């Protein structure tokens, strides 16, 4: 298919009044929650999910995606001005962005990160446009064995490639898989773990699980966070103009960052945070003066920012072409599509071309809106950072309640949110990051169904999954990741015992 003519068709869809409106709302909200430390894009997308049930599926997707990539732009503002990452993936930007702000170069830092973000996103979109139809064509030959292997790799990848403990993250995946089994079993019709409650026959709602685990638990944790690091800065447009040396040091790191980000974002399990950290490490290694990193090196903000934006776009590749989300936020976006009766997979691009190309076109539009929001209108966000959290969170709690209630008009759903909020908070307290729970929850039923089919086809021979070339490769990758996890766990245990 001719990509460019399809893209033109996509623009026709994205430029409809409704899509344009919700694209704007999406990226603005995304920037807002990116700017405000304490709520990430995961919590924001879960809070907006109920609203999207009332929209056209394409419009819903455009808005949720806008929140997702908009947060990457907003996050860097808080990182640079406050040294508080607005979203986890912009944490690395604090290292060199904040020293620049202290040296009176906040304007330049904001300008450079915005341009780098746009560049990264643009490269990500181009890769998404040309690579997705190709991948979808390959994926059309996949059987349940391949799907099982890819989903398993995604789950194991998401838990082993984290900043925290891989063992704990893997446990969270299993918790999510178990939560996903609650309700009526698809193939036998048996009621599982419902305790006889009819309201659980359809299982837990994705909105309920997501809002409880992320929205509510994050609020409980953040209520006491002090906001001492306030700034009364105003950014004059004049101060945003970079010097000639800045310009010279800009292109290569930004391009490398975009490349790394685009690649990592498309992998199942890895996300923007990993992409940003990796690009930073690469720049530091390549630099002739690595000692200036951490003191306001411009490469230290361009590379990670272009990287996390590229990754936020290419993360849509596995979600839309295989139906397998690589991260918890992507799992939510997939959930939104499922609720609209659209099952993303290899046939999405050919069956719903207006949705795919409309989304791609909205990426271009959304990113251009974001540049406008982040350059001329920067002072709106700078002022918003100063909004105290104790005036903010009661509203978020009410939005969660209303949102959850509005989905099914079911009071029990609101009660379950308390349960999941409490559970999510406890998990955080004990050092378990709850994001993989959601990934397991969404992917669990797919994993079970594909395993069941694969075993049925191969007459109970589990090794047959290893013998097929594509599924075998994925299974080998999963096994390697697990092995790596065990090796590094043993090594850190040894180190721990030697220290004492």
Partner 1 sequence: MDERSSPLTDPITGYGLLAGFSVFFLVDGRDLAFGSVNQMGPGFFPTVLSALLLAMALGGIAVEVAARWRKRGLAARTAPRGEDEIWAIQWKPLIHVAVAIAAFALTVRSFGIVPAAVLSAFIAGLASGATPLRHLALLGLTIGAFVYAVFCVGLDLAVVPYRWPF
* CA angle at 81 for the pair 77 and 86, rounded to the nearest 5°: 45
Phi, psi of 249 (to 5 degrees): -85, 0
With respect to partner 1, which residue has the nearer C-beta, 255 or 482? 482
With respect to partner 1, which residue has the nearer C-beta, 130 or 167? 167
Q: Would you give the distance in Å from CA 37 to the centre of its chain?
A: 16
Closest approach of Cβ 58 to partner 1, in Å? 18
Q: Distance between CA 169 and CA 16 in Å, rounded?
A: 42
With respect to partner 1, which residue has the nearer C-beta, 17 or 195? 195
Q: Distance between CA 402 and CA 397 in Å, rounded?
A: 9
With respect to partner 1, which residue has the nearer C-beta, 16 or 181? 181
Q: Distance between CA 369 and CA 408 in Å, rounded?
A: 34
Closest approach of Cβ 433 to partner 1, in Å? 9
Among 162, 198, 87, 256, residue whose Cα is nearest residue 488? 162
With respect to partner 1, which residue has the nearer C-beta, 24 or 364? 24
Q: Are 308 and 71 in contact (CB under 8 A)?
A: no
Closest approach of Cβ 199 to partner 1, in Å? 13
With respect to partner 1, which residue has the nearer C-beta, 141 or 226? 226
Among 62, 63, 87, residue whose Cα is nearest residue 308? 87
Q: Distance between CA 196 and CA 173 in Å, rounded?
A: 26
With respect to partner 1, which residue has the nearer C-beta, 11 or 419? 419
Q: Distance between CA 424 and CA 434 in Å, rounded?
A: 6
Among 207, 251, 257, residue whose Cα is nearest residue 401? 207
Among 81, 103, 19, residue whose Cα is nearest residue 361? 19
With respect to partner 1, which residue has the nearer C-beta, 188 or 198? 188
Closest approach of Cβ 54 to partner 1, in Å? 6
Q: Distance between CA 59 and CA 14 in Å, rounded?
A: 9
With respect to partner 1, which residue has the nearer C-beta, 241 or 429? 429
Closest approach of Cβ 452 to partner 1, in Å? 5
Among 221, 224, 179, residue whose Cα is nearest residue 200? 179
Closest approach of Cβ 414 to partner 1, in Å? 4
**Would you tell me which residues interact with partner 1 (CB under 8 A)?**
51, 54, 164-165, 167-168, 170-171, 174-175, 177-178, 181, 185, 187-188, 190, 192-193, 195, 216, 219-221, 223-224, 388-391, 393-395, 397-398, 400-402, 405-406, 409, 411, 414-415, 417-418, 421-422, 425-432, 448, 451-452, 455-456, 458-460, 462, 493, 496-497, 500
Closest approach of Cβ 193 to partner 1, in Å? 5
Closest approach of Cβ 430 to partner 1, in Å? 3
Phi, psi of 183 (to 5 degrees): 120, -160
Tokens representing residue 158 in the block: 């998401």
Among 356, 383, 345, residue whose Cα is nearest residue 135? 345
Closest approach of Cβ 189 to partner 1, in Å? 8
With respect to partner 1, which residue has the nearer C-beta, 92 or 200? 200
Closest approach of Cβ 56 to partner 1, in Å? 14
List residues bridging with 476 in a β-sheet. none
CB half-sphere exposure, 373, CA atoms < 13 A = 27
Q: Distance between CA 291 and CA 306 in Å, rounded?
A: 22
């Amino acid at each position: 298919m001719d990509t460019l003519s399809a893209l033109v068709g996509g623009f026709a869809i994205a430029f409809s009044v409704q899509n344009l409106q919700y694209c704007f709302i999406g990226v603005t909200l995304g920037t807002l929650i990116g700017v405000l430390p304490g709520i990430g894009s995961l919590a924001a997308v879960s809070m907006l999910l109920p609203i999207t049930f009332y929209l056209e599926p394409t419009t819903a997707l455009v808005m949720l995606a806008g929140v997702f990539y908009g947060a990457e732009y907003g996050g860097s503002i808080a990182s640079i001005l406050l040294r508080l990452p607005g979203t986890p993936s912009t944490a690395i930007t604090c290292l060199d962005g904040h020293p620049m702000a202290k040296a009176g170069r906040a304007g330049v830092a904001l300008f450079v990160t915005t341009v780098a973000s746009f560049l990264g996103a643009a490269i990500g979109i181009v890769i998404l446009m040309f690579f997705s139809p190709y991948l979808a064509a390959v994926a059309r030959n996949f059987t349940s064995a391949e799907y099982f292997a890819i989903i398993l790799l995604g789950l194991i990848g998401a838990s082993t490639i984290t900043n925290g403990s891989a063992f704990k993250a893997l446990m969270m995946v299993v918790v999510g898989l178990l939560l996903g089994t609650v309700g009526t079993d698809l193939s036998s019709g048996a009621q599982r773990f419902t305790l006889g409650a009819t309201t659980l026959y359809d299982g837990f709602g994705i909105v309920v699980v997501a809002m409880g685990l992320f929205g509510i638990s994050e609020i409980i944790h953040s209520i006491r966070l002090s906001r001492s690091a306030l700034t009364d800065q105003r950014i004059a447009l004049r101060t945003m103009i970079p010097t000639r040396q800045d310009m010279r040091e800009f292109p290569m790191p930004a391009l490398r960052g975009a490349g790394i980000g685009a690649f990592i974002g498309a992998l199942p399990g890895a996300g923007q945070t990993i992409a940003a950290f990796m690009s930073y490490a690469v720049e530091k290694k390549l630099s002739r003066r690595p000692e200036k990193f951490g003191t306001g090196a411009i490469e230290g903000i361009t590379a990670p920012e272009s990287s996390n934006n590229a990754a936020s776009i290419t993360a849509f590749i596995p979600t839309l072409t295989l139906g397998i989300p690589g991260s918890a936020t992507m799992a939510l976006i997939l959930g939104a599509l499922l609720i609209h009766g659209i099952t993303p997979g290899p046939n999405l691009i050919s069956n719903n071309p207006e949705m795919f190309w409309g989304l791609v076109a909205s990426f271009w539009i959304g990113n251009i809106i974001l540049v406008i929001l982040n350059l001329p209108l920067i002072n709106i966000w700078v002022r918003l950072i100063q909004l105290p959290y104790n005036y903010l969170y009661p509203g978020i709690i009410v939005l969660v309640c209303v949102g959850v209630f509005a989905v099914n008009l079911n009071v029990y759903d609101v009660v379950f949110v308390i349960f999941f909020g409490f559970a999510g908070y406890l998990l955080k307290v004990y050092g378990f990051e709850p994001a993989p729970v959601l990934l397991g929850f969404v992917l669990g039923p797919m994993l079970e169904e594909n395993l069941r089919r694969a075993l049925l086809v191969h007459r109970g021979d589990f090794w047959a999954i290893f013998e097929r070339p594509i599924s075998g490769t994925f299974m080998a990758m999963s096994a390697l990741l697990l092995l790596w996890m065990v090796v590094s766990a043993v090594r850190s245990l040894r180190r721990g015992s030697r220290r004492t």
